[in-house]
Structure 1
Amino acid sequence: MLIATGCVLIAGLVATAISIRLSDAGSGTACGLEESQLGGFVDIPGGGFVMGADPHYAEEGPPRRVLVSPFRLQAHEVTNRQFSAFVADTGYVTEAERNGGSAKFSETDTPERVLSWWSLDPGATWRTPDGAGSGLSGRDLHPVVHVTLNDARAYADWAGGRLPTEVEWEYAASRGLFDPMDPKSGVRAPDGTARANVWTGLFPVLNSARDGFAGTAPVGCYEPGLTGAYDMIGNVWEWTDTPFGTALPRVTIKGGSYLCSEDYCQRYRAAAREGMERDFSTEHVGFRIVKTMGDAGERR
């Protein structure tokens, strides 16, 4: 189970605080990309950057200079519509569907206990993101979730691409920042306007949905970064193809999600990283794909 390490929960959380259920807030908001924009890629030129710049947690540093070859980055996270097309074409069955469900975040009467925030829901899959009885109605343009690394790789192969390396992902996210000197400039504009879908309020008991959503948002609801890519920060964590350390078979995920908050983990930065078991899935982890410059055959 994914638990953000190194984060400090504010003492004295009030369990009776008013909260907004993740499945209710923002579900009817009309925004996102137009049909003609779905499945598009942006070109990321080769170059150098400082990886792990301004590290907030030990695993993000030390800062080091890295050179990156050019590549093409899908402009948005893979959507339910895209993943549905893949499944319809191939008959693919995700690991959550085969192995007994996926992890869901939920309200709890004991918010001071980190382990009480998450549970394995046997009815949670990419088709039923809120558990048994839920569905994808109105969520075609939301990022697909409850997918493992293997599920994401299978989609990428079908779509003629691959998952990004951590270096590629962080390089693209860093180039997209509105203010290179401010690692949090991808979250909100100087006037306070939301630039990403993160947790607004007191985590984990009060989500004000001040940025428009308490759960996932349709892709493209917030302005793109300077590269033209959407939602590199927030919305859902994204799989990369880079191992996370050597102690366990974990893989690096990047970008933070709608569960990242100012008062808790602050992992809505390009340098932020977490580790995830390759055969595990949750409701706040998705992915996007990349292509080596010159590759053809894009799918939607």
Structure 2
Amino acid sequence: MTAGMRPHAQQASRFRHAALVALLACGAGAGGLAFLDRDAESAPAHPPVIVQGDGIHAGMVFIPAGGFLMGSDHQLAQANERPAHKVRVHGFWMDRHHVTNAEFRTFVDATGYVTTAEKAPEWKTLKVQLPPDTPKPPDSTLVPGAMVFVGTARPASLRDYSQWWRFEPGANWRHPNGPGSSIDGKDEHPVVQVSFEDAQAYAKWVGKRLPTEAEWEYAARGGLEQATYAWGDQFAPGGRQMANVWQREREQASPAVSAKAGGALGTSPAGTFPANGYGLYDMTGNAWQWVADWYRADQFQRDARIGKTLDNPAGPSDSWDPGEPGVPEYAPRRVTRGGSFLCNEDYCLSYRPSARRGTDPYNSMSHLGFRLVKDAIRGTR
């Protein structure tokens, strides 16, 4: 990775802000794991037992209570992933895969819900992401839409994400890449172009909730302590592709090439790639996932300073990210995890269980979805 280059995972939270700046500039607008001191390449001493849900927890698997090292001190880890620190989580149920287009459609059909991307943006949610005293644009310029990956026709600087992303009027979960796109034939793909607010609304309707950041990472690791990936330490064991990430020839630039010219083609159906040790699909790769916590870039440092195992942490009470030029450091951010089909080893590397970023909760993007969890009934499992 080029020295000083901001990773894609950290840049992505600036997309909505960049679109607004452009708009303004142009006048528009049970038991569980013990803490193990062993090489991450080795198999777990006691491989997890996959417990699938019954009628009450259909499509879910049980994640047993246990302790683990959260975060990473690996050479690939970014500053916001450090240091690794001890955490214990309670048992819970988790969706085996992302919420799909078909599942989200059922919710919309039943409730008439209108997503964030389908509504004109509200100034109060936009101005907190902009420098103080930014003037309000004309209402006529605040139109429904969302951020879409468009790529470029030729290699471009990896520092300038605006070359391959743009705000697309009319983009939403039904049309993830803009009005000309469709999810027809993609019922089993992750729903994308959903905001944090949309994920919360779906969760309330279905009687579940978003996972905490600790729950998400614990589940993503699949019983492997401090492994680099959700399946182990080799990116492609035996040459086998393990996740939907950017695929391209090594001499090509990434992600600044047209998707049609080679590379990511978008999401894949849930369950295309192997499940992890807990039986969970696409915990990394395919589409980013919203989680419940507010995002602080320094949260793991704050947690480590406590000096003891954290019990079922629910995250900080506010947001803080000083690394986004032009965005107030206390602008609202929620944690997103897991990386997407746009990540690769040269630019993103966010398809690692410890990788994290903060995202504007009203931001909808063509590579951002979610999955849900449910508390275990006390006295069971």
Provide the TM-score with structure 2 as the length reference.
Answer: 0.64
**C-alpha deviation, 1:265, in angstroms:** 1.4
Output the aligned Cα RMSD: 2.6
**C-alpha deviation, 1:68, in angstroms:** 0.3
* Distance (Å, rounded) in 2 between the aligned partners of 1:257 and 1:294: 32
Match in the other structure for 1:59 = 80
In structure 2, the CA distance between the partners of 1:6 and 1:52, relative to structure 1 (3 Å rule), is: farther
Residues 42-93 of structure 1, C-alpha deviations (whole Å, 9 max, x = no match): 0000010000023510001111000100000000000000000000000000
Percent identical: 44
Match in the other structure for 1:281 = 364
Q: 1:175 aligns with which of 193, 208, 222?
A: 222
**C-alpha deviation, 1:181, in angstroms:** 5.3
**AA of the residue aligned to 2:116:** E
Residues 232-277 of structure 1, C-alpha deviations (whole Å, 9 max, x = no match): 0100000001011222210000001001101111111000001100
Q: 2:171 aligns with which of 124, 130, 133?
A: 124
In structure 2, the CA distance between the partners of 1:229 and 1:212, relative to structure 1 (3 Å rule), is: farther
Q: Is the 8 A contact 1:6 1:57 kept in 2?
A: no
Q: Is the 8 A contact 1:257 1:284 kept in 2?
A: yes
Report which of the two has the higher share of helix: 2
**AA of the residue aligned to 2:156:** P
**AA of the residue aligned to 1:101:** G
3-state SS, counterpart of residue 150 of structure 1: helix
**C-alpha deviation, 1:223, in angstroms:** 1.0
Q: Is 1:158–2:205 an aligned residue pair?
A: yes
Q: Is 1:184–2:229 an aligned residue pair?
A: yes
Q: Which stretches in structure 1 are left out of the alignment for 5+ residues? A: 8-35, 296-300
Match in the other structure for 2:9 = 4
Match in the other structure for 1:268 = 351
* Distance (Å, rounded) in 1 between the aligned partners of 2:235 and 2:209: 30
Q: Is 1:40–2:59 an aligned residue pair?
A: yes
Q: Is 1:83–2:104 an aligned residue pair?
A: yes
**AA of the residue aligned to 1:165:** T
Residues 15-39 of structure 1, C-alpha deviations (whole Å, 9 max, x = no match): xxxxxxxxxxxxxxxxxxxxx9x95
Q: Is 1:249–2:332 an aligned residue pair?
A: yes
In structure 2, the CA distance between the partners of 1:193 and 1:290, relative to structure 1 (3 Å rule), is: same
**C-alpha deviation, 1:208, in angstroms:** 8.5
Report which of the two has the higher share of strand: 1
* Distance (Å, rounded) in 1 between the aligned partners of 2:264 and 2:256: 15
Q: Is the 8 A contact 1:199 1:207 kept in 2?
A: no
Provide the TM-score with structure 1 as the length reference.
Answer: 0.81
3-state SS, counterpart of residue 4 of structure 1: helix
**C-alpha deviation, 1:182, in angstroms:** 3.4
Q: Is the 8 A contact 1:166 1:252 kept in 2?
A: yes
